[in-house]
């Protein structure tokens, strides 16, 4: 499990997963139905990236997102 504290962490995680699966940004963007610019911004940790698209993109990469309460 990977701890994601901010959008920079989310972006880095998505970039690493995309590369592990062997996709280019263009291929993944086309597959998910987002623009390459959006994907690039997301991978670079843009704070205002649309969360719905990010969640869908994570699903397409085979990643489940879970929330855990902090103690």
Confidence check: pLDDT of 67 > 90: no
| Mean predicted lDDT score pLDDT of the chain | 94
- Tell me the domain boundaries of the chain: 7-60
Summarize the confidence of residues 34-57 as an average pLDDT.
95
pTM value? Answer: 0.89
> What CATH class has 7-60?
mainly alpha
Tell me the per-residue pLDDT of 14-44, one tens digit each, with 9 for 90 and over: 999 999 999 999 999 999 999 999 999 999 9
pLDDT at 9: 95
Q: Which string of DSSP letters, residue by residue, matches 3-65?
A: ---SHHHHHHHHHHHHHHHT--HHHHHHHHT--HHHHHHHHTT-TT--HHHHHHHHHHTT---
């Amino acid at each position: 499990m990977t701890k994601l504290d901010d959008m920079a962490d989310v972006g880095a995680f998505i970039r690493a997963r995309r590369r592990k699966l062997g996709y280019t940004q263009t291929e993944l963007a086309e597959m998910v139905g987002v623009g390459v610019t959006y994907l690039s911004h997301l991978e670079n940790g843009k704070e205002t990236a649309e969360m719905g698209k990010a969640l869908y993109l994570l699903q397409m990469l085979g990643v489940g997102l879970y929330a855990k309460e902090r103690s």
